[in-house]
Every structure is written in C-alpha cells, then in structure tokens.
C-alpha cells in the first residue's frame, strides 16, 4: 500500500490507492459488504439477486399515495463538545432527508434537462424522529452518549462498529427491526482526519444475512459528525479546501440502508451495474467534483446516450451538484421497505394504540388554512396538544383541559405536520396538512 498523505474518506480506497484532496472516496459501504461476503459467501450475489427480483418478481413498482413514515433514532456519541451536535443540527438533517427523498429540495432546478425522462418524483417516504423508545417511554428520538474514545475507526476491520456497542464506548442500537439507527461520531485517524464519512448496512433479511446483524456488522448507518446537517458548525477540511457539506452524505448512506448501490456499480471500465435500468453508466465514482462534461460510458436510456449523472445522490460528486434520485431508485427504496424492512415504517403516525378515549375525535378542517379544530364527543378531555413538523421538531405545545382544542395555522408554512393529543390515559397522533 502506498503512503496515505491526506484525508482518507473511504475504507475501500484505504486498501487500494493513494487518497488525495482531489480524488477520494467518501463511503465505506462497499467495504462493509465485502467483509460480510468473507464471512457469509454468497451475500453479494444475493444482493444482486434482489435487484433482479425487483424487476422480474411479482411486485408493484408504482409509487402509491400511501406515505411511509420511517422511525429514526439518532445516536450522538461524543468525546469533545464539538462532536456533541445540537438538536437543531439533527432536526436540520431530518428535514434534508425528507426534502431529498420527497424531491422537495430547492436545488432540483439544477437538474440538467437531458435527465428529465428518468428523474425521480416524491417517494412518499418520510423520516420522523421516534417519539416512543423501545421500552414505550416518550423520547425526542435523539440519544447522547459521552465516551472516552477519541475515535471509533478500527484499523483491524476498517469499520467503526464500536460506536454501536455500549461495551465499546458507544451505545447499543434500538430495535433494528423497528428503528433506523443513525450513529454520529468521530471516525478520524490521528493527524490525517476522518477515515470515512459514512457507511451503512444494506437491507437485512436477504439470503445469508440474519435479521439485524450479520457476523458483527450491525444494522444501521454511521456518519462522521462533521458532515451531519447542513447547519453543522464544524468545518471539514480536505487538504487545502473545505469539504462542501449540505447533509447529502446521510442521504447517500440511507440510500444504501434502503438497498441502493453506487450508480457506477462499484466497478470500473463501464462494467459495473447498480441493478437499476434508468441510472446512466459510469466508469467509476466522480472525483468529488461537478464536471458536467463527462460521458464515460455508452448507454441507451429512453433512447439517449446519457452523460454521467453527477446530480445523483448515489454518486461521489460534490454535494454542490447532487440533487436527485432516479425514478427506479425511488420505486426501489419503497419496495425494499415493504419487502425487507417492513417494520421500520408505519403508514400512519399513530404508534401508541391506547386511543379509546379518542374514539370519536373530530378533526376539521384537514387540510387546514387558518384554523383546525379538535373535538371529542366522549367523556374524555384533551389535556394537552403538541404540534411537530416533519423533522420531528415541536412547533407548538399547549394545555387544554377541555373536550375542544384549536390550532391557529395561518402563520404556519404549508406542509405536513403531526399532532399529538393527550388525555388522562391515552395519546393519539395524527397527520395534519396545512395548505393556504
């Protein structure tokens, strides 16, 4: 191995080539998959088979009107105050996930017209910070763990699995079949910087992959703390430049968690395949740039030899130019949730089932313009009312002690919110749409 002289941000690259500020990898998912393959031969092939099943099996590829709400818990594991990211950073990153998977991000206008036939739509997947922990206790979906570990990068296996274990200075995951666990920590190498910006475990439940964990590779997503959230106060210096952070590394890694591969198929010379028909071929990962002149492979998608899609979140292009998934990528992640991660998402936001006191609850109007009213015709009184935005941040809280309650919505931005109503012994959660 040649001497590594600058920032290392990809575990696969760690063992194969020189890393420099102009050409580096940022994702360690391939290395995680290769490690699993060593312990469970056939795993990588079974992952490829999943894509064949998607196209050839009995499945619906249409994105339905049904929203899928993915429960998320963010584990902040910190050694220094800088690593102990504020709640606002977490809320911001959840909002970015929802914007990007919902195609509500403002920079969609930067998509080149050539990709119009394949560009994705709203996946109708929404990421929501968990409000109930595995023991049934209320939570804001954020855990904080102070650790004596200065870095969780492990040279022995090129992974940062220690952050997923309380015994190793991190924190044990919440039920991985019910929650998307995201660990945020430092994975730096002394004097060099972060060894990897993130990695994820592709869907469990596949052949040779036990549910939740396989051979020590624990299910979930791990993110370098400096690239979590676009409002992160900690810059990431890459050689003489500063790495552009717009929260797209977690978008990329959650894509892996939901089964997506790198768009070049983790191979070179146009031989790689990500398994999806509408992602343009490429010889290799983009070099953290926004070079829109590249057309490194010949393909035929919608009758066009399309250029390299540097706008795709599953590339290694700069976060400045990433702005979209393709249509098949959006179909696929919903298919994966339904088939391989069915318990991490709910089609309603009601997780607590003790709703007898609200059996006759009336909500009107919904969608709301200026005002929304809540009324129960039972003997129950509404004790409190809380309103949350899509990032899981509480927007409003009020005590009621009445059979009626109201929320003024005239000044709220349009969008989807969640209302939590509490009575003496029950809690009900419901979706509220604000449309002016």
| 66 pLDDT tier (thresholds 50, 70, 90) | confident
> Longest Cα pair distance anywhere in the chain, in angstroms?
74
C-alpha torsion sign, points 361, 365, 369, 373? negative
Phi first, then psi, for residue 337 (nearest 5°) are -60, -45
Cα separation, 267 vs 419, in Å, equals: 47
Closest by CA to 128, choosing from 177, 91, 100, 87, is 91
Cα separation, 150 vs 77, in Å, equals: 10
Q: What is the pLDDT of residues 404-415, one digit of tens each?
A: 889 999 999 888
Q: Which CATH architecture has domain 11-346?
A: 3-Layer(aba) Sandwich (3.40)
Question: Which 8-state DSSP code applies to residue 115?
Answer: G
| 119 pLDDT tier (thresholds 50, 70, 90) | very high
Between 287 and 56, whose confidence is greater? Answer: 287
Q: What is the pTM of this model?
A: 0.73
What mean pLDDT, rounded, does the chain reach? 80
Cα separation, 160 vs 162, in Å, equals: 6
Structure tokens at 277: 């028909």
| 126 pLDDT tier (thresholds 50, 70, 90) | very high
Cα separation, 27 vs 11, in Å, equals: 7
Give the range with max mean pLDDT: 133-147, 215-229, 282-296, 330-344.
133-147
Cα separation, 420 vs 415, in Å, equals: 17
What is the reported pLDDT for 384?
A: 86
Neighbours of 254 (CB within 10 A): 25
| 54 pLDDT tier (thresholds 50, 70, 90) | low
What is the reported pLDDT for 64?
A: 67
CA angle (262, 75, 229) in 5-degree steps: 60
What is the reported pLDDT for 7?
A: 30
Q: What is the pLDDT of residues 214-256, one digit of tens each?
A: 455 788 999 999 999 999 999 998 777 788 899 999 999 999 9
Given a cut of 80, whether residue 266 has pLDDT beyond it is no
What is the reported pLDDT for 9?
A: 33
Between 308 and 159, whose confidence is greater? Answer: 308
Closest by CA to 95, choosing from 415, 431, 391, 324, is 391
Between 35 and 382, whose confidence is greater? Answer: 382
Given a cut of 80, whether residue 74 has pLDDT beyond it is yes
Question: Which 8-state DSSP code applies to residue 99?
Answer: H
Question: Which 8-state DSSP code applies to residue 384?
Answer: E
16 contacts: CB under 8 Å, gap ≥ 6: none
Cα separation, 234 vs 171, in Å, equals: 23
Q: What is the pLDDT of residues 360-389, one digit of tens each?
A: 678 888 888 899 998 887 667 888 888 888
Residue with tokens 């709703």: 355
Cα separation, 354 vs 130, in Å, equals: 17
Residue with tokens 């360690």: 28
Catalytic residue list: 253
Lowest-confidence segment of 104-108, 227-231, 269-273, 347-351 by average pLDDT: 347-351
Lowest-confidence segment of 10-19, 72-81, 193-202, 271-280 by average pLDDT: 10-19
What is the reported pLDDT for 429?
A: 74
| 164 pLDDT tier (thresholds 50, 70, 90) | very high
Are the beta carbons of 404 and 426 closer than 8 angstroms? no
Percent of the chain with pLDDT over 90: 39
How do the domains of the chain map onto residue ranges?
11-346, 356-434
**Peptide bond just before 367 cis, omega within 30 deg:** yes
| 105 pLDDT tier (thresholds 50, 70, 90) | very high
CA atoms within 13 A on the CB side of 184: 27
CA-CA-CA-CA dihedral for 222, 203, 352, 419, to nearest 10 = 70
Q: What is the DSSP string of 292-308?
A: TT---S---BTTB----
Query: In 128-244, which ranges are continuous DSSP H helix?
Result: none
First to last CA, the chain: 60
What is the reported pLDDT for 50?
A: 63
CATH class of domain segment(s) 356-434: mainly beta
Q: Is 410 left (phi over 0), alpha (psi -120 to 50) or beta?
A: alpha
| 207 pLDDT tier (thresholds 50, 70, 90) | very low
Given a cut of 70, whether residue 211 has pLDDT beyond it is no
Structure tokens at 365: 């109007």
């Amino acid at each position: 191995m040649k001497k590594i002289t600058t920032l290392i941000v990809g575990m696969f690259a760690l063992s194969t080539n020189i890393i420099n500020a102009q050409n580096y990898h940022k994702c360690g998912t391939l290395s995680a998959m290769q490690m699993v393959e060593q312990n469970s031969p056939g795993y990588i092939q079974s992952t490829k088979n999943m894509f064949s099943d998607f196209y050839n099996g009995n499945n619906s590829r249409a994105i339905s009107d049904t929203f899928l709400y993915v429960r998320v818990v963010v584990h902040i594991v910190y050694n220094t105050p800088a690593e102990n990211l504020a709640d606002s950073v977490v809320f911001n990153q959840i909002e970015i996930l929802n914007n990007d998977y919902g195609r509500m991000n403002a920079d969609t206008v930067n998509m080149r017209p050539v990709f119009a036939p394949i560009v994705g739509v709203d996946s109708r997947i929404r990421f929501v910070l968990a409000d109930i922990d595995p023991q049934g206790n209320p939570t804001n979906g954020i855990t904080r763990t102070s650790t004596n570990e200065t870095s969780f990068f492990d040279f022995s296996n090129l992974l940062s699995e220690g952050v997923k274990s309380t015994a190793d200075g991190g924190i044990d995951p919440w039920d991985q079949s019910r929650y998307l666990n995201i660990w945020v920590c430092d994975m730096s190498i002394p004097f060099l910087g972060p060894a990897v910006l993130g990695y994820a475990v592709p869907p469990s439940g596949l052949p040779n992959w036990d549910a939740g964990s396989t051979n020590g590779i624990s299910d979930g997503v791990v993110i370098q703390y400096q690239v979590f959230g676009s409002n992160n106060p900690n810059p990431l210096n890459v050689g003489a430049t500063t790495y552009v952070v717009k929260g797209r590394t977690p978008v990329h890694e959650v894509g892996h968690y939901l089964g997506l591969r790198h768009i070049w198929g983790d191979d070179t010379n146009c031989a790689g395949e990500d398994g999806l028909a509408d992602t343009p071929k490429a010889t290799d990962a983009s070099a953290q740039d926004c070079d829109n002149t590249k057309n490194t492979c010949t393909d035929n998608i919608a009758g066009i030899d399309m250029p390299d899609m540097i706008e795709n979140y599953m590339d290694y292009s700069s976060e400045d130019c990433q702005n979209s998934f393709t249509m098949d990528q959006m179909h696929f992640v919903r298919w994966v949730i339904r088939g391989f991660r069915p318990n991490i998402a709910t089609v309603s936001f009601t997780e607590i089932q003790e709703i007898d006191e609200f059996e006759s609850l009336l909500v009107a109007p919904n969608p709301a313009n200026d005002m929304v009213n809540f009324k129960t015709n039972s003997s129950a009184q509404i004790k409190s009312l809380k309103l949350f935005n899509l990032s899981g941040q509480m927007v409003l809280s009020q005590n009621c002690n009445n059979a009626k309650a109201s929320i003024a919505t005239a000044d709220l931005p349009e969008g989807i919110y969640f209302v939590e109503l509490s009575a003496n012994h029950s809690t009900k959660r419901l979706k509220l749409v604000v449309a002016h």
